[in-house]
Amino acid sequence: MLLICKLYMDLYRCCILADSEGKAWDFACSIYENLRRRSEKFELNEINIKRFRDDEIKIKIKNNVRRKNCFFIHDSSKKPAEWFLELAFVNEALRYASANEITDVLPYMRFSRQDRKDESRVAVNARALSDVISIHADRILTIDAHSALLPSFYRIPFDNLYSSGLLHEYLKIKHPEILKNSKVMSPDVGGTSRAKAFGLKLGIEDIVIGYKYRKNEGEVNDFKIVGSVKNSDILIIDDMVDSGNTLIKAKKASRDAGAKKVYVYCTHGLFTEGIEKICREVDLMMVTNSISQPNHKKLEVISLDDFFAEAIYRTNEGLSLSELFE
């Protein structure tokens, strides 16, 4: 019996890895601590990144990963090109170190907006990324992917988690008032399905849709609302916020149409023009820690640590992931 237990432990031994100097290290440590409370088969390992004078990098895995199921938790705060290169090299290192199975845990998946050929002579970068990842990785684990097309680019399992249930639990505890007199708004037509899904999970039936018109990339020139927001609080739902210009236009249009308070939830906060610009416009900004965030009195960060720990546990044990959302 002891021999059987030992063989079982060895078969499903799991390794959590992250860049020990990156902003995702604390995230990885928190996931590891959650998993370690469940079983001794989980261990923490470090990715060391050496940089040469000409900015080339060398990846080294600190400890042995032979025949282990490896979950590489990548740092979404890194610049896109750096993020891409390190991901490719870590997967290469894990495969040549004889890892049993490689799962790339990508809390925010870079290049996911570039999922189609929208003009002549451009690359479909999301597909190029899938080609590189699929060389060595066995599985993708991410949350609230920007495009529904992404899984179709991959020939390996692509698990896209949903944060709507997590937001529901957070609001029930922290801000139950938001669930009582709010309408869910999608800031653009493309996010309508997402807004409906969140509304269903939050128990909010009233959905309003924003329509934005752009002349140039990153600029919102006109914004209109389909649906009534008069005398209601508004909860704007989006998967990511970049500059925040769309949110600011949505907030102004909502207030002009008679809305009272304006709250915002996004899974991935890029905040490329700073968080202050957005927070001074809305009553409350909520975001997950898929990307490391600064402190601000109007910004509340919802932790994904335990959620990803549960997903990793279920993946490693061969359990259902869909039960996380039911």
**Residues carrying an active site annotation:** 212
- Beta bridge partners, 210, equal 225
DSSP code of 258? T
Using CA atoms, how far residue 231 sits from 27, 180, 186, 200, in Å, is 40, 13, 18, 21
Handedness of CA 315, 319, 320, 326 (dihedral sign): negative
- Beta bridge partners, 71, equal 16, 103
Whole-angstrom Cα distance, residue 266 to residue 111? Answer: 17
How far does the chain reach from its first CA to its final CA, in angstroms?
A: 36
Specify the DSSP element, H or E, that contains 300: strand 299-302
Residue 303 corresponds to which amino acid? S
- Beta bridge partners, 240, equal 268
- Beta bridge partners, 266, equal 238, 287
